[in-house]
Amino acid sequence: MHKLVHFQNMRILSMSAEGTYHRVFDACIPKWLNQAGAKDEFVRLEDVGIHGNMHEMFLDRNSDEVIKFIDGWLRKNINNKAASGTR
């Protein structure tokens, strides 16, 4: 398996919603990225208590819940130094 060396220290969040039209293959890219050396966490929104979303989650009525989840994931998984742009 080819390794994606520039992705090896990168944390990635991939999400899938219940109403998306490509639900059946949403987990494929995260699996491939992980095999290639990345650290991709795949989350089905209903598994974290967020229900009823479609593909474009930011247009749904509960988009604030989705953003809150993403913000929490970023705060927990992304290095503060990298996020602020300092080295």
pLDDT digits (tens, 9 = 90+) for 33-59: 999 999 999 999 999 999 988 888 888
Percent of the chain with pLDDT over 90: 60
Cα 30 to Cα 19: distance, rounded to the nearest angstrom: 19
As beta bridge partners, residue 14 has 42
Please, are residues 78 and 51 in contact by the beta-carbon 8 Å criterion?
no
Percent of the chain with pLDDT over 70: 91
pTM: 0.82
Reported as half-sphere exposure (CB side, CA atoms, 13 A), residue 10 has a value of 15
- b/e map 53-70, b = 16+ CB within 10 Å: beeebeebeeeebbeebe
pLDDT over 60 at 10, yes or no: yes
